[in-house]
A and B are shown apart, each in its own frame.
Chain A
Amino acid sequence: MDVDSDDSDIEISSRNKGKGKATAKKPKAIRTEAISAQPYTWEENFARSWDTVTEDATGSLQTTVDDLQARSRRRRLLHPSGTALRRTIIRHLVLLLDLSAAMADRDMRPNRWGLTLEHARVFVAEWYDQNPLGQMAVVGMRAGLGERICSMTSSVQDVLKSISEKHKLEPSGEPSLQNAIEMARSAMSHLPSHASREILILFGSLTTVDPGNIHDTIDACAKAKIRISVVALAAEMKVCREMCERTSGQFGVVMNEGHYKDLLLELVPPPAQVGASSAGRIGGDAVSTAPKANLSADLLMMGFPTRLPHSAMAALCVCHSELKSEGFLCPRCLAKVCDVPTDCDVCGLMIVSSPHLARSYHHLFPVGAFTVVTTRAEAEADACFACARPFPPIATSGGAATGGGDGVSPYGRYRCPKCSREFCADCDLFVHEVIHCCPGCGK
C-alpha cells in the first residue's frame, strides 16, 4: 500500500479525534489511488500512526518528534477563542456518576468505574480551581435509584472525600436516568436565576430503567434552564443526544482513556451563554448565538470577610461547631466561618474573598492568540521577550525555512498583535494557559 505524505495522515487522525462514531466517508482526492487498493471503506478512517514517523535526511527522528510536539501545542492553543464571550461565572454543577453493572466492564483499565473515579477526582480539583465561586454536588445512579453521594458544596475537600470512599460506590444494578436527573433537578430548584445550573452525566451503560416518560423530565429541565452534558463510555444513545441538544449541553463519546480525560477537561471552563438552543459538540469551538440583552444578568450582594489570624482567640465556628482560632468573619452578622467561599450559615450572605473573584477574571478578559512569524523579514528580536532566552539563530542561507505550516512558526517565534513583541513557543503556551496576561502589554 502506498505511503502518503505526513500531512494527510495527520489530517485523518485529527479529524477523528473529535468524533465519537464512524464519520461520513468523504472522498479524499489525495488518496484516490489508495482507495482502490483498500478493500473496505471503514479502513479509511483507520489512522496508521506509524506512517507519521519518518526519518529526515540525516536519518534522525528528532525533527519529526519536534514537529509533532509543536503541532499538538498549536492545536491546543487555537481552540479557545480570543474574544471575550459572555460566560456565567457562578456555576452549580451536579455530577451524575453511573454506578450500574455495566461499569464493571474491563474495556478500560482497570475497569470503567475505577477509571471514572480517578478522572472524576482530577476533574473536580480542576473545576474548583477554575471556578472558585462554583458549587458541586454528586449523585449516583445505581439499582434503578438515584443516590445522593454529596450535597451542594463549595468545598473541594468534601467532594473529594465523598467520592473516595470506594466501598460505598460499588457498581450494581441498572441505571435510571430519569430518577437521577429528577434528583439533580430538585437539588437545584431553589437556586436563583443568575447562577448557571448544569448536570454532567458520566454514562457507561446502554439502557435506562425509568418509572415514567423521560421526555417529560427533559422538558422540565429545558424549562428550568438546566444544561445537561453527557460523556458516554459505551456507544451513543439517542435519548442522551436529544437531552443534550434540547438543553444546549455538550455530548461526547469516549474513544480511549486519554480521550476520556480530554472530554472531561473540556467541560471545566465556564460555558458561553447561548440564547436559542444549539447543539454544541465537544471538540469544536463554543459557539454563542447573539445573546439576548439582560440574559440573566444580576446584581449579587457579596460580603468580603476579614480574616482572623492565628493569634486571635479561639471560638466556635458556625459550620462545624469546632473550636478554632483561625477563620473568617461574615461582614454582616459577624459569624465565624471556617473557609471561603461559602454561604454564611447564619445570614445567608455569599462570602467571597477577592482573590476568588480575581480567579475568574481571566475567563472574561482572555489574552488574544499570538500570530505566527512566518517570514524572515518579520523576525527581528534576538531573544524571547518573556523568558529572555535567545532564539535559535536563523539560517543565513536564503530560501524558506523547513518545517512549519499549520500554525507552527518555522523560526519558533510568535508575535502578540497588540504590543508586537516576540515570544518563543514555551512562553506562548505559558502565557495562554497559565498566566492569561501578556508581559508586553502588561495588562
Chain B
Amino acid sequence: MQSSSSSSHQNAASSSSAHLPQNGNTNGEEKDAKSSHVLLPFLQSQSQNTLTRLYQKPSACLAVFRLLSPLERQLVMNLLWLDSAISPATMAAWVVRDRRNVYDRAIQELMKLHILVNSTTKLVLNNTFKASFRHALTGGGTSGSFGVAADERQSRMSLGVEQLDHFALERWETILHYMVSSGTGQQPERPSKGVLFLLERSALMASMYGAMQITSTGFQFLLHSPHDQLWDLLLQYLHLAQERDMDLVDVLSFLFMLSTMELGRTYTASNLTATQKVMLKDLRDYGVIYHSDNNAGCFSPTRLATTLTSSAPPLPTGRSTGGGAQGEGFIVLETNYRLYAYTDNPLQTAVLNLFVTLKYRFANLVVGSLTRESVRRALTSGISADQIISYLVTHAHPQMRKNEPLLPVTVQDQIRLWELEKNRLQSADGYLYTSFASQADYEFVLEYAHSLDVVLWEDPVKRCFFGKAEGHGNIRGFIERRTGGAL
C-alpha cells in the first residue's frame, strides 16, 4: 500500500493553542459501539455462497454498505480501489493505539459478512463485492440492478408523490390500528390475509378465543419507531421466505433495489424473476410499493421503500398546521404528569391510550395524564418502563428539546418506581407448618424439609416454617409416620 509521505502522526488532535475547537473525539467510542442494523445478524447467518450471489448486484452492495457502521465503511473504502491484498499489519499501523479493539471488532464484523475475505494473513475485499461496488460507484456493469424505468405509456397511470405517501400511510396504519384495537371491541379494517399470517408467525399477535389478540411483544412493537417496525416485519418476512421456498437472494436483492429507487418514478416489472413478482403483492399490502392490478406491468416505490436504508422519516409526519416541517414530535410532558399530544391521528391516540389516561380530546390536541393505574395497565400487558420513556423521548415536541434533560426527572423516576413496585412482592404457593409440640419435633421436621429443599421461610422463635406446595405431601407423610398417624 502506498504510504503518504507527509508526516503522519497517530494523534489527530494537537496543539496547545487555546483556540482549537473541541472535536467529538470522546464520542467516537460510543458511536462505534452503537448497535448495528437489525438486518446484519441475519445476513451474517447466511452462507458465503448466498452472500456472494447477493453481492453480484451493485445495488445490493450499495445498500449493504449503507447499513454498516462508519468505521466499517471507511475500511471498505480504503480497500476498494486496491487491486492486490495487503497485510493486516499495514492497515493496523493507521489505527490509534487506544482504539485497537474497536478496529478489531469492525474487521470481525466485515469478515462475518463475507465482505472481507476470511483470512488472517491478508486483508482483501471479496472479489465479487469489490467488482460490483466499483460498478455501483462509477456506474457500469450490465446487471440493471437499479431498476428499469417504465416507459411512457405505463407511467402515465402512475401516482404522484403525495398520493403515494397517502397510500403508504393508509396501508401501514391499517396494520398498526388493527393491532392496537384488537381486544378492545372496536372493529377496524382488517389487513390482508398475508399480513395477518405474518403477524401471527412473528408472535406479535396470537389467536386466542378464535380472534386475534395482541401479545406483549406486540405492545412493545407498537412503541418502536416506524423504521424499526418496518424492519422487524421485513425480517420476519425473510424468515418466512425461506420456508416458502422463495429464493432468499432474489428477495433480498429486490428489497435492496427498492431502497435505491427514486420516489415518484414508475418502474417496469418485466425483468423481475418469478419470486420477485410474487413479492410485489406482498409488499403492496405493507404499503412498501404501489402496484395496481390492472396495470400489473409496473410498480412505484413509496417513501417506506426509499428510506429503507436511511434514517429519514419513512412516513409523512401527520397533518400538522403551518410549518410543522420535519419534527415528528408532538408530545409535551409536564412535571405534574400531564401530557399534551398535538395530534389528530387515531393510531397515535390509540397508542397513547395504552399507558396514559386520556382526559380530553380536541380537534388537534389530546390531553391526558400518566397515573399509577394507567402505567400499571401498560406494565401488565408487557410493556416495560424503559419503552414508555423512550417512546416519550422519541416523540417529544421540539419545544421540549430545550429542556435539560428532555423529560422531567421526577416523571421518569416515578415510572420506573411503578415498574419496580411490581417486583416488590413475589408470591409462591405453599403451606405453613406451626404448633409443633416441642423444639425437638420442630427441628426434626425442619431438617427433613431442608433435605427435600422445599423450605421457603422459617422462624425458630415461633417454631414454624413455610414450605412449598409440592413438598407438602412428603412432609405430611413424614409427620404422620413419626406420630404414628395420630394427626
Contact = CB atoms under 8 A, between A and B. Distances in A.
Do the two chains belong together in a single complex? yes
Contact of A311 (B9, B15, B18, B19): B9
A241 interface: no
Interface in B2-42: 9, 11, 14-19
A353 B14 contact: no
Interface string A213-251: 000000000000000000000000000000000000000
Contacts of B9: 309-311
Interface in A331-347: 338-340
Contact of B14 (A156, A309, A355): A309
Interface in A140-172: 155-157
Contacts of B14: 309-310, 326
Contacts of B16: 326-328, 338-339
A263 B17 CA distance: 29
A355 B14 CA distance: 16
A339 B20 CA distance: 13
B11 A310 contact: yes
Contacts of A340: 17
Contacts of B19: 355
A307 B15 contact: yes
A355 B17 contact: yes
A339 B9 CA distance: 22
Contacts of B17: 339-340, 353, 355
A311 B8 CA distance: 12
Nearest to A308: B16
**Which label, helix, strand, loop or mixed, suits the secondary structure of the A interface?**
loop
B18 A339 contact: yes
A350 to B, nearest CB: 16
B18 A156 contact: yes
Chain B interface residue number, banded: under 10
Contacts of B15: 307
Interface in A280-331: 307, 309-311, 326-328
A353 B19 CA distance: 12
A72 B114 CA distance: 59
A118 to B, nearest CB: 16
Nearest to A338: B16
A355 B17 CA distance: 10
A310 B11 CA distance: 9
A338 B16 CA distance: 8
Nearest to B323: A62
A368 to B, nearest CB: 27
A353 B17 CA distance: 9
A311 B9 CA distance: 9
Interface in B417-457: none
Nearest to A157: B18
Contacts of A311: 9
A116 B464 CA distance: 69
B133 to A, nearest CB: 32
Contacts of A327: 16
B324 to A, nearest CB: 14
A61 to B, nearest CB: 11
A339 B19 CA distance: 11
B135 to A, nearest CB: 33
Interface in A25-50: none
Interface string B335-371: 0000000000000000000000000000000000000
Nearest to A156: B18
Contacts of B18: 155-157, 339
Nearest to A128: B18
A155 B11 CA distance: 25
Nearest to A327: B16
A309 B11 CA distance: 11
A339 B15 CA distance: 10
Nearest to B14: A310
A326 B19 CA distance: 16
A326 to B, nearest CB: 6
Contacts of A157: 18
Interface centre among B11, B14, B15, B16 (most CB of A within 10 A): B16
Nearest to A324: B16
A398 to B, nearest CB: 29
A155 B17 CA distance: 11
Interface string A88-121: 0000000000000000000000000000000000
A310 B13 CA distance: 11
Interface in B187-218: none
B208 to A, nearest CB: 52
A159 B363 CA distance: 56
A311 B7 CA distance: 11
Interface string B117-153: 0000000000000000000000000000000000000
Interface string A394-424: 0000000000000000000000000000000
Interface in B377-403: none
A353 B14 CA distance: 16
A156 B19 CA distance: 11
* A310, A326, A328, A339, most chain B CB atoms within 10 A: A310
Interface of B: 9, 11, 14-19
22 contacts: A155-B18, A156-B18, A157-B18, A307-B15, A309-B9, A309-B14, A310-B9, A310-B11, A310-B14, A311-B9, A326-B14, A326-B16, A327-B16, A328-B16, A338-B16, A339-B16, A339-B17, A339-B18, A340-B17, A353-B17, A355-B17, A355-B19
Given A327-B16, A340-B17, 8 more contacts: A309-B9, A310-B9, A310-B11, A328-B16, A338-B16, A339-B16, A339-B17, A355-B19
- The 3 residue pairs across chains A and B that have the minimum distance between CB atoms: A326-B16, A339-B16, A310-B11
Interface of A: 155-157, 307, 309-311, 326-328, 338-340, 353, 355
